[in-house]
Amino acid sequence: MEYIELGSSGLTVSRITFGSWAAGGWMWGGTEQNDAVGAIHASFDLGVTSIDTAPIYGQGLSEEIVGEAIKSLPRDQVQILTKFGMRWDLAKGTLSMKSRNNEGQDIDVYKYAGRESIIRECEDSLRRLGTDYIDLYQIHWPDVTTPIAETMEAVQRLIEQGKVRAAGVSNYSVAQMQEAEQVLNLASNQVPYSMVRRDIEKDVVPYCVEHGKAILAYSPLQLGLLTGKIRPGQPFDEGDLRATHPLFKPEFVTRVNRFLDKIRPMAESKSATLGQLVLRWTLAQPGISVALVGARNAEQAVQNARAIDLTLSPQEVDFITRELEEGLGA
C-alpha cells in the first residue's frame, strides 16, 4: 500500500481509502452488516488503514458498522474520516432532499453546520464509532445558512479539545476553502472525481496543488459504472440511486463500455480488472491524493486494495487519457 500525508496536517492515510457509504445501505438498496465488517477487515489486512464514513450514511448505521469493525483493530493504526453537517433529525437548516431510510420510511435531510449542532454531531459520532477521537473531521456539504467562520471555529474548538486531529471539507469550492482557511488550516477537500467527472481539474485541483491541500476523490469508479460490469438498461434495487442517475442512461453506459473495451487489453496484460486500472489511473492524476472506494463484501475490498499493486508508466497513463478524451470527450 502507498501512504500520503494530508496537506501539512501530520495525518497520514492510505491512498486507497475504504469508503463506507454503501456499507450504510442508504441510497444503495440496503446493506448486510457482517459483509461490511468483513470488507473493512479484508481491506485492513492489505494495508488500507483509512476508513471514510458519515453520520448520514444509513442515519448512523455506517458509523456503527465502522465502530464494530475497528473494535478488533489497533486504533493507532486506523484513520477514521467522518463528516458533519447533514442532519435528518431536526427541522432547521437548508432542506437538501427528501429521502427514505433503510426501513423505507420518509425522512427529510438537512444541511446544517451551526456551532452547537457540530459539537453534538461530534459527540454522537464518537459514541457510534466507539472511539475518543476522529482523525479527519469534514463538513459534508456547504451550509449557506451558517457563516463558514462559525463552522470552522467549532471544528477548531474540537481540535483543541483533542476530539479531532485534522480538519477537512467536502464538496467545497475554491472560494469556500479560502474563507475556511481564514480560521483554521485545512488538510483536504473531498470531492467527486472520476474519468467521466473531471470538472475539478479547472479550479479545485490547481488551488489544492498550489496550497498543499490533499484531494480525496470520491466515486472514482462512478458508482460502479467504470468497472465494466454495468450493462445498458441494467435494473437496480429499489432505493438504489443509480436507478435514476443520468450517467446510467443506456446510451451513456454504451459509450462508457466502448471506451472500457479500448483499455481492457491493458488491464488483462497486467492481470488486473478494469476497476483496478481505473483506480490506478485516478491516483496518477495531478493533485489526487486518495481514492475513496466502496466495497460491500470482502471480495470487492480485496480487489480495490490490490489496485495499488499496478504500475502504470507515464506513456500508459497518457494512452488511457487519450482514449478517454476521444471516446467520451471527458
Task: Examine residue 316 and state whether it is found in any structural domain, yes or no.
Answer: no
Task: Examine residue 77 and state whether it is found in any structural domain, yes or no.
Answer: yes
pLDDT value of position 27: 44
Task: Examine residue 229 and state whether it is found in any structural domain, yes or no.
Answer: no
Confirm whether 57 is a catalytic residue. yes
pLDDT value of position 236: 82
Instruction: Give per-residue pLDDT as tens, 151-207.
Output: 999 999 999 999 999 999 999 999 999 999 999 999 999 999 999 999 999 999 999
Task: Examine residue 13 and state whether it is found in any structural domain, yes or no.
Answer: yes
Domain that holds residue 126: 3-223+276-310
Q: Which of 57, 110, 112, 172 is catalytic?
A: 57
Q: Which residue has the higher pLDDT, 97 or 266?
A: 266
Q: What is the CATH number of the domain that holds 67?
A: 3.20.20.100
Of the segments 99-113, 117-131, 291-305, which one has the largest average pLDDT value? 117-131
SS3 for the chain is CCEEECCCCCCEEECEEEECHHHHCCCECCCCHHHHHHHHHHHHHCCCCEEECCCCCCCCHHHHHHHHHHCCCCHHHCEEEEEECEECCCCCCEEEEEEECCCCCEEEEEECCCHHHHHHHHHHHHHHHCCCCEEEEEECCCCCCCCHHHHHHHHHHHHHCCCEEEEEEECCCHHHHHHHCCCCCEEEEEEECECCECHHHHCHHHHHHHHCCEEEEECCCCCCHHHCCCCCCCCCCCCEHHHCCHHHCHHHHHHHHHHHHHHHHHHHHCCCCHHHHHHHHHHCCCCEEEEEEECCCHHHHHHHHHHHHCCCCHHHHHHHHHHHHHHHCC
Is 93's pLDDT higher than 80?
Answer: no
Task: Examine residue 328 and state whether it is found in any structural domain, yes or no.
Answer: no
Number of domains composing the chain: 1
Is 101's pLDDT higher than 60?
Answer: no
Task: Examine residue 150 and state whether it is found in any structural domain, yes or no.
Answer: yes
Of the segments 192-201, 237-246, 295-304, which one has the largest average pLDDT value? 192-201
Task: Examine residue 288 and state whether it is found in any structural domain, yes or no.
Answer: yes
Q: Give the whole-angstrom CA distance, residue 45 versus residue 228.
A: 26
Task: Examine residue 100 and state whether it is found in any structural domain, yes or no.
Answer: yes
